[in-house]
Chain A
Amino acid sequence: MLETALKGSRRYWGWIFFLLGIIGVGFIAYLYQFRIGLGVTGMSRDVSWGLYIGQFTFLVGVAASGVMVVLPYYLHNYKAFGRMTVLGEFLAIAAVIMCMLFIFVDMGQPLRVLNVILHPTPNSVMFFDMLVLSIYLLLNILVGWTVLGAERKGIAAPSWVKPFIILSIAWAPSIHTVTAFLYSGLPGRHFWLTAIMAARFLASAFAGGPSLLILLALIVRKYTKFDAGTEAIQALGKIVTYFMITNVFFLGLEFFTAFYSKIPGHMEPFIYLYTGVEGYGKLVPVMWTSTILAVVALFLLIFPQFRKKENVLAVACVSTFLSLWIEKGFGLIVGGFVPNPFERVTEYWPTLPEALITLAVWATGFLVLTILYKVAVSIKEEAVFDKYGQRQIKP
């Protein structure tokens, strides 16, 4: 099936080489980081995790969100998602690969990565995170590839794959729960020490992931003959709406607990993020951008008459995605480190090499995604009708 990725239009190859170019630049930046050390990033003794770990956290959510199309389709037989599932699974694969790369580029001693396996430590959440992410990656490759392969041959997917699908559905929330546990079990980091961290992660994941999936489905429809279906896109829009509301609600709960209890340790990170403290406020404009985008997204999503217009839905999805990307991929991590255990403020801002490496990891993810989507679309274009007899190709 992979051979279909080797044939493509000029635009396809242009895009591939564009991504390869970004990867190349980022790779050079990584060699620089590898030589000097993580000192080339904006991270410090006080803010010891930054953009890399933030992106990792955000992308675990994107990976987990594949379940939002897989679950209704396989457990509730929601046929409209039949054409969307492979897009969700392949997005999950690309997202998990990005997660792993972000962890790798964040390591101080990357050549020792196998120590995690050589010295397995079940009491470390990071050990479990590696485990659940690897298994989730394998599950999605197995399921996505097998089901697509069956479609190519025009036969039903083999029955042995069903248990793996069910397992992958149960597995998806686990990867994001374990990722939340990285943060929510640390004494002394008040911003993270919250029992609803995993719930918040899942809510933001199930809003952010599907909003990206909608955008991808719209792009795929624009540039190829494959159409995931208006009904599927609208159904995903509803999912984004409900989970974005849930996400903002959960954030509100955090604000209430912090500011009604008036416990300084709980309030300080929020004050730093949204108003700044003692003249330190690098993240204030960023957090307010996220807030405004969330308001715009909710306004466009909540009213069905807006959401039903696909171009408006696209704007809502971009807003949702960017808002969550800032909140979770940046603010959430830095907020945990400010103020530091000595109640001092050290600010964090990514450096140029750090930004280039981050971009390159995203480009790698998009390269994987492009190749996988190319394969999927080529096969779908051949099949013309999906297994329910619905036309999946634009006439």
Chain B
Amino acid sequence: MKTKLNGILTLLLALVVQVAFAQQTVTGKVIGPDGGEVIGAVVSIKGTSTFTTTDFDGKYSLLASPENVLVYSYIGYTSVEMIVGNQTNVDVTMTNNSLDTVVIQAYRKTTRLKSNIASTQLNASDIEDRPNASLLQSLQGQVPGLSVQTSSGQPGAAPFVQLRGASSLNGNTQPLYIIDGIPISGDAFAAFNPNDVENITTLIDAAATAIYGNRGANGVILITTKGGQYESPLKISYNATSGFTNFIDTDYNRFDAKGLLRFEKSRGAGLGNTLSDADIDAFAINTNWEDVFFQTGTNQNHNLSFRSGGKNITQFTSINYNESESALAGRTLQRMTFRSNVNGKSDNGKFRFGTNAFLGYSDSRTQGADGSGSVFFNPIWAANNGLPYLDPNVNTSTLLTGGAAFTFRNAPYVNLDAQRFDRDEQDKLTIQLGGDVAYDITDNFTLRYRLGLEVEQENDLDTTSPLSALARIRAGSNVEPFEGRTQQNYFRDVRMNSNLNLGWAKKFGEAENEEDKKHDVRVNGYVEYIKAHFESFGFTQVGMDPRTFSPGDGSSFIDDNGGSDNLGADAIAQKVEAGGFSVFGNIAYDYDGKYGFEATVRRDKSFRFIYNDGWGTFYAAALRWNVSEEDFLKDNETIDLLKARLSYGAVGNDRISGGYYGARNNTRQQFSTFNGYRDTQTFVPSSVVPVSDLRWETVTTLNFGIDYSLFDQRLSGSLDLYNRVTTDLFAPQQISLVNTTDNVDKNVGSVRNNGVTLTANYNIVRATKEGGLNVNVFANGTFNDDQVLDVSPESGRIDNAGLTVLQEGQRINEFFLAEYAGVNPANGNLLFRDANGDLTETINNEDRKFTGKSVNPRFFGGFGFNASYKNFFVEAQFAYVTGTAFIDSDYDNLLDFNFAGNGNLSADLLRAWTPTNRVTDVPSLDATNINPAANSDRFLVDSDFLRLRFAQFGYNFPKSLLENSFLSGGRIFVNGENLLTFSDFRGSDPEQRRTSTFNQFPTGRTIAFGIDLNF
């Protein structure tokens, strides 16, 4: 076991005097992984006791012989060894050490050696400079057990994040996000600056998350933002990236103009039917509507930060500007953020405080009809299905006049018109404020108080200009001169979190020196209060005067003029509250770094429940054994760390209906007032059937893990096995229709996720001198086996309206479809397999089968490498997902030959069965069973994919360049997201968490160039 230098050792070493011969003075500078100077790093000569420490500028100087090996050490960093040789100046860049790395745990920090829990940590270097606007998207493939699914190409889109499978059916399954101790909602990340992040820790097992109680059931993602260091000079960093986002092409074999015209002619439909063969051969227009709607989007990001620290105070300040266009015209994100982190302490260090202030403003241009078949409102439909023989340049206002213009074929023009005139925009202001005060009452007692406030306010504007075709058509049938519609919705969401903590820590043992005592006990008690308020209001105005129209402005609003109730505004408003109160405690014990024990008990009260007075009790316990600290392994050269962990615990989930404010008053019968018969204000029982004994969903996790570090820390990682069972599942129970609804959600049912996660990092080539070749490879994988254990119907099945079912013993929401067997060579009809496996042309719901697929990944993870040589660096991160599928409804649509004349089709139809082409995969165009009575897997595609999620190549500015400049460091790089994707899907992006993909907005491919400068 390697000995690590620390303050105590430093003192001991200081007492030793050493004499050396044939020495030269070696000077240099020690740089940390963040590019900043390392102050107080120990530089020693290997095999001797000679050492020095670095000064405030990270510089050192000592006498050494050419054959000496210098060892550079600093807590938290991997020691670096350098042969002196003939060098007189040796600069060293240190990297994070996996063993001594500070492990962030709930409410406290420990080291990897003493951590009792399953957790994964990412550092700034794993996520910074990524050319995508969402921090969460960057986590894909980097955290074992964490599945990150981004289903929209909207810049900054919030991905669906899930740790170790779905623990709930209706309830929230996404993890809790904590930024600097403050719980933050998952959709706050579009307005968050990823470059502020110091590290991200994912807390995984029950022992890690129990302390977050009812909010931590699905794991906790702790984000720590950067801070300054005491006694360090001002450091300024500037970083800029600029890039391009492109649409990832589809492969649907769409007809070109001539091909489609010929096909139409053969079907007696559309324009083709009116043209002669000669006309078609001479047809000049050929439009690819994908190219019309999808373009190259540009994006840029600027980040400026300042860090400094004095004797008693440190600060970190950053400002960020981001402008991201997507591949779809008009869909953008603009963002500005500001952060200020201040930490301070009293002279004796007994009193400490910290504040975090973050302000983010973002403006997204979106479109409400993604994925819908509303052809006049969804440009992606037009891109997918626009007729190639139409010319996009003839789009004049007269083309779109009158009801007759609103045909399927003109939908691309309507969408182009809407892009020009209409606006769908969300601007969002995010404020996150955190305060943290701690006072050491005695040597053992510490009192701590944390207060967090998250404020999000958003203004959502959706306007149809009175000049747009959509407004003119409505006006035309409405005898109003103009119409147009503006909808604005404003909301403010304020969430407050208050946590009082009394901690007691003491070491016991024989040793006189406090540090050497072997029994380490920490006890913490907490009281937590959570309160949240959501308020929204908005209006829908119909009728705008085009003379004064401007999106979002009300000058043009036309009042109700009495002639028609259509004009004027409708108002809405909502106000809801949520809250919780918890008392909890945690005890952690460590014996000599060998054995650890930790236990947590908590009592939670949620505003959602009245059963059992609203209280729930949860607990967790963990055991740790550092095998490598035992005598028989302590001096083992191969094994640096071998640690076994075992934890068991239960965590509650009160977000039983998913949303933060959902299921607010499901326990009591409500009445709702509304405009009733004859416009009389009346009231009726609300349609939510009350369930008075609602209670927590309980997620119980058993976790066994091993952390390892081998071969001089060249190979390290962890292995975890888990069994995760959710009971009292908030699941639908069918009730008699004599009620106002057909089901209520009650605590019935149970699901299970079993799995294994493995991570490995291997330092294949370790540089022995500055600029030497250094190569790391890393990989992680998760296998998660999800299963429905129990649902309420006696049949053991809940049928989810068609494509998927919840069936006991099967995967959660597994696709359940009749098997498509191809084309009947005899008649061109579709062939299926019935329940008995026999071929049939007619199927019903009884013929459906389990497919093993769902929207939740089954085996997933990531791998990659990074390398550096001289000043160059390169890295690549791959991500992979298996076990997922969806129905490719886009392709289904492109094969719908009955649609000929209305939209483009796939030229695959030319392969359709005919009496002379009997063996084919495309059914006859006269097939009589094209729409079977049950859903089949004909269009089910595996959305498994492997993708080069991120790659980067760059160059660090050489010392020679920096020495005479105002810079202390810098680099340039080129990188990219989603560079390569391998999948069976013929559409654009297989990463879509949905049962059916239909005219969706896919994520694009981004390539960016950037520069980092440190002053």
Q: Do A and B make up one complex?
A: no
